[in-house]
Amino acid sequence: MKTITTDLNVGKTASGLDMYCDLSLEQRHLYRMKCESFVANLLKWMRIQMGKTNQDDYWDGNSTRKEISNITSITESGQDLIIQLDKYHEYSGVEHDLITIQGVLGLEGLNGVYFHDNTIGQFPLDRHSTYKYYIRGLVPHLTGVWDGTSGVSMAAKYRNTWTDRDYHLPINWEPIIGMSDQPVKASDLCLPGYFKRGCTQGAVSITSLITDQESSKFTLSRPFTNMTGGIRQIKEIGIMSGDYRSAYMLMARDVLGAPISLGDTSTLSLDYEIISMIENFNQNTDANGTNGGWTESFMYILHRIANPGAAHNWENEFHFTAGLGGGGTGVNFNVDRNLEGWQFGVRVGESNKFVSMTDTSLTPENAEVNGVPHGYGDGELVHHGTHIGQLVVDDVANEVYFPIERIFENRGATPITVREIGLFGNKNNSLNIHPHLLARKALAPVDQFTIGAGETAKVTFNCKAIV
């Protein structure tokens, strides 16, 4: 069986989803930086949404207390460290799997993630009382003295079953800043030096989605004012979900090339440009090579979720849905609609007209054709079910990826030459679910392939983030 794989990129310059940030101090522009680090959570969420799979654990805060808790006391008990909070994460019992300690100053080695499961991480977490936690064996690994006023804690639970509402969706994206220069890892769950206490975090604003043939983009902006009475060294920036029901899930993190000294009452502003660009954008695929990537429909979903006004409701439940099945399977949501499963997921076509960000179909010169149809005769391909593969988080190579793949079978008598590959998923709510073109690749002659009579081929989109 033929196997064809092509990447859909995240974090690769001018090739798929990418991000830049403009930093300004006291309204004076400092510099524009290329961000490197959409972390694993972004692709984990995309994968869950595409397949509605129960295979992945997601970070859920719905059963934990809403507030981010301030640390009020840090004391030692032998080799164990005792952390006390001003607000409990839960009233009783332990319904969370982890807490994050962020933004503690003076006591080096404390900021990070701690799990109740003693097989995860070096220092197990025990809940001592409603407001108090023990971190076992940590004291010998700490240096310095806590300043007495810094540091917060968040709690989260890993779930792998769907709730009655999708509380885990990482909506309301918020830029954040921090004071740690720990190297970025694909598996990062927080900003270790998150600067929240003593920082006035301004309102988040978002621009409209701006699209042309080559790119689609929007900007998230937020100001931060230091109200601690002293100077703070800002060393890291990031984006997290601003909603407690997704446990303030981290979406991106970057360490700055050099710290920014933020004086008392001074304001640092971040303007994140989130952009998708067509890889090898050109107007002639035959002459200039394979081109393509994520489309405007994909960016529409990100913009809708990132919006400060996004809400947890059925409007957002079926974003990205791409794995409804194959062949003659369907999904009947009500008496008026029956969706054909083969129309979702990976599909192929016979046109290699160059990809535009505004493409809404395969065979863009004739949208009614929209690629090779499902069927058993000449000019048709049997579309077997879309498979959404395992998520891999690799902190050594600092990359995250998962495959979306489908097997096509030609039961007709004539060969079919594949000159384009598309990914179809939903971008609407559950009442208007419909297959939209989320990504498209137009193939140069050297990358085209033929599925002959009686042959099968597995075609894969590899969704890949380089951190």
Among candidate residues 94, 124, 159, the one where a domain is terminated: 159
Say if residues 61 and 247 touch (Cβ distance below 8 Å).
yes
Strands (E), 35-172: 58-60, 69-77, 80-85, 98-102, 107-108, 112-115, 125-129, 132-135, 143-144, 152-159
427 in any annotated domain: yes
Helix (H, G, I), strand (E, B) or coil at 453: coil
Least confident of 38-52, 148-162, 317-331, 442-456: 317-331
Mark whether 155 and 285 lie in a shared domain.
Answer: no
Could you tell me the pTM of the whole model?
0.91
For the domain that residue 120 is a member of, what is the CATH number? 2.40.30
Mark whether 147 and 285 lie in a shared domain.
Answer: no
Mark whether 152 and 286 lie in a shared domain.
Answer: no
- Over residues 418-423, the mean pLDDT reads 97
Count CB-CB contacts under 10 A for residue 295. 25
Relative to beta strand 143-144, strand 80-85 is: unpaired
181 in any annotated domain: no
Mark whether 456 and 326 lie in a shared domain.
Answer: yes
pLDDT at 56: 53
Residue 11's φ and ψ, nearest 5 degrees, are 90, 10
Residues of the chain with pLDDT > 90, as a percent, come to: 61
Relative to beta strand 2-10, strand 456-466 is: parallel
Could you tell me the pLDDT band of residue 157, with boundaries at 50, 70 and 90? confident
pLDDT at 166: 47
Could you tell me the pLDDT band of residue 246, with boundaries at 50, 70 and 90? confident
Report the sign of the C-alpha dihedral through residues 65, 68, 73, 78, in that order.
positive
The enclosing H or E element of 45 equals helix 40-51
* Calpha distance 285→145 (Å, rounded): 62
pLDDT at 12: 81
Domain that holds residue 407: 279-466
- Over residues 191-217, the mean pLDDT reads 96
For residue range 172-199, list pLDDT tens digits in order. Answer: 899 999 999 999 999 898 899 999 999 9
pLDDT at 121: 83
Please return the burial class of 198, using the count of CB atoms within 10 Å of its CB with bins 0-12, 13-18 and 19+. Answer: middle
Strands (E), 242-386: 250-262, 267-277, 291-294, 330-334, 337-340, 345-349, 382-383
Mark whether 152 and 292 lie in a shared domain.
Answer: no
Give the length of the chain.
Answer: 467
Among candidate residues 144, 159, 174, the one where a domain is terminated: 159
| Mean model confidence pLDDT for the chain | 88
Residue with tokens 């399977």: 329
pLDDT at 337: 60
Among candidate residues 159, 174, 201, the one where a domain is terminated: 159
pLDDT at 353: 96
Q: Distance between alpha carbon 175 and the CA centroid of its chain, in Å?
A: 14
* Calpha distance 83→355 (Å, rounded): 54
Say if residues 425 and 347 touch (Cβ distance below 8 Å).
no
15 in any annotated domain: no
For residue 250, is it left (φ>0), alpha (ψ between -120 and 50) or beta?
beta
377 in any annotated domain: yes
225 in any annotated domain: no
For residue range 422-459, list pLDDT tens digits in order. Answer: 999 888 765 677 889 999 999 999 999 999 999 999 99
- Max Cα–Cα distance, the chain, nearest Å: 78
Residues 6+ apart with CB under 8 A from 334: none
- 161's tokens: 């079953």
The enclosing H or E element of 179 equals none
* Calpha distance 356→36 (Å, rounded): 25
Mark whether 305 and 436 lie in a shared domain.
Answer: yes
The enclosing H or E element of 149 equals none
Identify which of 439, 434, 385 has the alpha carbon closest to the alpha carbon of residue 407: 385
- 43's tokens: 């692709």
Report DSSP letters for 215-284, one per residue: EEEEEEEEEEEE-SSS-EEEEEEEEEE--GGGTT-EEEEEEEEEEEEE-TT-EEEEEEEEEEE-BT--S-
pLDDT at 313: 60
Residue 167 pLDDT more than 60? no
361 in any annotated domain: yes
> Cα-Cα-Cα-Cα dihedral of 36, 42, 46, 47, to 10°?
100
Residues of the chain with pLDDT > 70, as a percent, come to: 87
333 in any annotated domain: yes
Could you tell me the pLDDT band of residue 89, with boundaries at 50, 70 and 90? confident
Strands (E), 263-410: 267-277, 291-294, 330-334, 337-340, 345-349, 382-383, 387-388, 392-394, 399-409
For residue range 280-307, list pLDDT tens digits in order. Answer: 999 999 999 999 999 999 999 899 889 9
Mark whether 322 and 461 lie in a shared domain.
Answer: yes
Residue 241 pLDDT more than 60? yes
Residues 6+ apart with CB under 8 A from 115: 97, 98, 121, 124, 125
Please return the burial class of 332, using the count of CB atoms within 10 Å of its CB with bins 0-12, 13-18 and 19+. Answer: exposed
421 in any annotated domain: yes
Q: What's the domain count of the chain?
A: 2
